[in-house]
């Protein structure tokens, strides 16, 4: 049972300095979501991946370091087929050796966590994201 709004976001924010946590909590305060995702993408793809996620209707937070970029998104109203396409998209954009997560939250508050592990580089095709609508 998910007891907090945006539990995946709050899990990752708890690991960060208070100033970052407060800034992101403020940005996401009014976001309602039945789906959250988090992944790490190659640093040079961070902007493109964030723009794709925004175009798909997600509120996004990205944090870039020397080697990769952390990408979080929250959104609502995706149908099951769109969720499968989102998972496929995340498999394609996730940096090799990293793991992504998708948290599905149903109206009763039950949660399902899907883990995505990428061991080999995936080629990204932007048309995959268009199938998410």
What are 25-65's pLDDT values in tens digits?
A: 999 999 989 899 999 999 899 999 999 999 888 999 998 88
Domain-wise residue ranges, the chain: 7-118
Query: In sequence order, what are the residues at sequence separation of 6 or more whose Cβ sits closer than 8 angstroms to the Cβ of residue 77?
Result: 34, 57
7-118 has which CATH code?
3.30.70
pLDDT(3) > 80? no
pLDDT(8) > 70? yes
Query: What is the torsion angle, in degrees rounded to the nearest 10, for the CA atoms of residue 103, residue 107, residue 109 and residue 114?
Result: -20
- 82: nearest Cα among 31, 35, 32: 35
């Amino acid at each position: 049972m998910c007891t907090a709004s945006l539990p995946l976001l709050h899990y990752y924010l708890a690991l960060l300095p208070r100033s970052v946590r407060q800034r992101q909590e403020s940005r996401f305060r009014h976001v309602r979501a039945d789906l959250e995702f988090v992944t790490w993408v190659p640093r040079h793809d961070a902007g493109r991946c964030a723009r794709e996620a925004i175009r798909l209707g997600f509120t996004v937070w990205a944090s870039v370091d020397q080697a990769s970029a952390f990408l979080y998104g929250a959104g609502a109203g995706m149908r099951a087929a769109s969720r499968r396409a989102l998972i496929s998209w995340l498999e394609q954009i996730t940096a090799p050796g990293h793991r992504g997560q998708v948290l599905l939250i149903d109206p009763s508050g039950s949660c399902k966590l899907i883990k995505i592990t990428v061991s080999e580089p995936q080629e990204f095709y932007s048309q995959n994201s268009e199938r998410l609508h």
